[in-house]
């Protein structure tokens, strides 16, 4: 159902961290698997914060 972790790296390179938003796929998946996929990426603290919350908050403010 989900892409392999290396596809996430390609996606981040293609669209950029500032356009990437964290999601869990609930209720079909358990959220821990999404967190682990982020753990496997080579992200800075700022990039991880952007993906986990800042990008979504920015998008909601713009709406």
* Residues found in the chain: 63
Q: Which pLDDT score is estimated for 5? A: 61
pTM score of the predicted model? 0.75
pLDDT digits (tens, 9 = 90+) for 5-54: 678 888 888 999 999 988 876 677 777 777 888 888 889 999 999 999 99
Torsions phi, psi for 34 (to 5 deg): -70, -40
Q: In this structure, what token pair is assigned to residue 13?
A: 């390179």
Q: How far is CA 7 from CA 28, 58, 60, 62, 63, in A?
A: 20, 25, 26, 28, 29
Q: Which ranges of the chain does DSSP label H, i.e. alpha helix?
A: 5-15, 31-40, 45-49, 55-62
Q: Which pLDDT score is estimated for 24? A: 72
């Amino acid at each position: 159902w989900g892409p392999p972790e290396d596809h996430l790296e390609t996606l981040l390179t293609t669209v950029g961290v500032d356009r990437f938003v964290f999601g869990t796929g609930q209720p079909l998946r358990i959220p821990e698997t999404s967190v682990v996929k982020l753990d496997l990426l080579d992200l800075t603290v700022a990039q991880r914060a952007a993906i986990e919350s800042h990008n979504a908050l920015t998008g909601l403010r713009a709406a």
